[in-house]
Amino acid sequence: MKYQQANMLRITSVCLAILFLGLMSASVTYAQTESYKTNGIISFGEGTDNKQFNGPCAIAIDSANNIYIVEKWNNRVQKIASNEDFIKKWGSYGGSNESFNSPTSIAIDSSGNIYIADSGNNRIDKYTSDGKYVTNWGSWGIANGQFKDPEGVAVDSSGNVYVADSNNNRIQEFKSDGTFITQWGEPGSDAGKLTNPYRIAIDSKNNIYIIDKNRIQKFDSNGNYLIQWGSQGTGDGQFNNPTGITFDSSDNIYIADSGNNRIQKFDSNGNLITQWGSRGTGNGQLGNPSGVAVDSSGNVYVVEFDNDRVQEFTPTNDVGTNDETNENTSVTPPENPKEEESLIGETVKSIINIITNNDNHQESNINSKNNNSPITDSEVSTNKFNFNFFIVISLVAVIGLAVYFIKKRKR
């Protein structure tokens, strides 16, 4: 009878320990939910021929998945089909109509019209999807409709055009024909203020996202500040001279983190989803990624300023986990009844180690989230309380069962 009791104690303790440690291991191991693999490169090298590039700095994709690439040093736009066949190119250096002076950004409206931020000429140029000139507007200055280095352009669902007027530290809104509507913004690094706004993008709800130094700021369609995230650095959600921004059909945000040679993907609230890329010229590596666009299938296209190429990335199911996994997750059953108390003691020690490791892990996540999106003290306290409360209850349950069986055996 004593042996049966001891055997029951041994089995119960082992099962509880394995179950508990397995749950805890799962709870503190977090996985990258998505990953991307390279699926081709568009480039015949640096040059001026078709599908050659010199300073590709911006990219956009139309509803037919045609790809438009802006080249800063070639002062032109190339149009390439989704199967990578060359379609058309237009532009040359100059200040007249149908010419460019260091173009930096591109946007496409629902009718397929193309808008180019012609930065060196301090104007916005409008073309049809076939590259036929329509109109332009702007000149150097600080008045309404004038610009000082317009670096970014975007179009909302109504066809209104927004311009990141970089050195005027403001956003200007126009009708599709260039008629001025309004402006907003003032210089500064505080929330809602602008410091040389560089790129701009608009989601399906007409919220406006602005690359502003090493942060992303989100505004509503009237220019009211909503949230921001990002800071200088190499960590998750940090940036080093981000230069490109776009959305997919779910309003997830892709940032070309140029100085860190990577693409970072966020949800619409600034929570990091995934990232990929490293410095280099090989497949999957990036050389100063300066622009990013997403086609209707979710494929991501990145223009690389230093590598003079466009690289396509495709979502893949091959996802990995990070290294923050508790190593001590296995429990070896005792070989005889005398090892029961030792097993219980080791189980308790393992649980305590998990609590300590989880606190450190939570603190790391909190610090990371502070760089990604706003988090309140109440959120931090609630998350820690919920998890630690669960651990305490589980710990009490394990110890209680162990004590119960020990007392029962001694009778």
What's the pLDDT at 116? 98
Confidence tier at 388 by pLDDT (50, 70, 90):
very low
DSSP-assigned letter for residue 195? S
CA distance between the termini of the chain: 11
**β-sheet bridge partners, residue 16:** none
pLDDT higher than threshold 80 for residue 215: yes
**What mean pLDDT do residues 280-287 have?**
96
pLDDT higher than threshold 70 for residue 311: yes
pLDDT higher than threshold 60 for residue 365: no
Give the global pTM: 0.73
pLDDT higher than threshold 70 for residue 7: no
Residue with tokens 């960590």: 235
Confidence tier at 40 by pLDDT (50, 70, 90):
confident
Task: Report pLDDT digits (tens) over 313-351.
Answer: 999 876 543 333 333 333 444 444 444 445 445 544 544
DSSP-assigned letter for residue 51? T
Write the DSSP assignment of 65-107 as a string of letters. Answer: --EEEEETTTTEEEEE-TTS-EEEEE--BSSSTT-BSSEEEEE
What's the pLDDT at 400? 61
Task: Report pLDDT digits (tens) over 151-170.
Answer: 999 999 999 999 999 999 99
Higher pLDDT, 326 or 58: 58
Residue with tokens 């701009």: 200
Closest CA to 374 of 235, 217, 240, 183: 217
Task: Report pLDDT digits (tens) over 218-256.
Answer: 999 999 999 999 999 999 999 999 999 999 999 999 999
What's the pLDDT at 326? 36
Provide, rounded to the nearest whole percent, the portion of the chain with pLDDT above 90.
66
Mean pLDDT lowest among 40-44, 110-114, 148-152, 189-193: 40-44
